[in-house]
Amino acid sequence: MNEEDSAKATVEAFIAAFNAQDHEALANTLNYPHVRLANGRFVTIETHEEFVEMSKRGKSHLAAEGLAGQEIG
């Protein structure tokens, strides 16, 4: 698989995991440490396990923003 196909496969896996709210699969699409920008600040997530926990906690925030059950892609 060339680099472009690999990148597309990773994005497709991320979108599928996000839509399914599969926190483990979502975490598997990222590199660590992972840096994200949310609410105007940068957060460094050091490990896969830390991301999974943050992702689970964030599920209620998605619901509050009306994004729970929404699909991207």
What's the rounded Cα separation, in Å, for the pair 18 and 68? 10
The label of the residue with tokens 């496969």 reads: 9
Q: What is the pLDDT of residues 1-60, one digit of tens each?
A: 899 999 999 999 998 898 888 999 999 999 999 999 988 999 999 999 999 999 998 887
Q: What is the pLDDT of residues 36-45, one digit of tens each?
A: 998 899 999 9
Torsion angles phi and psi, residue 69, rounded to 5:
85, -5
Query: Is the Cβ–Cβ distance between 52 and 23 less than 8 Å?
Result: yes
Where residue 73 falls among pLDDT bands split at 50, 70, 90?
Answer: low
What's the rounded Cα separation, in Å, for the pair 43 and 37? 6
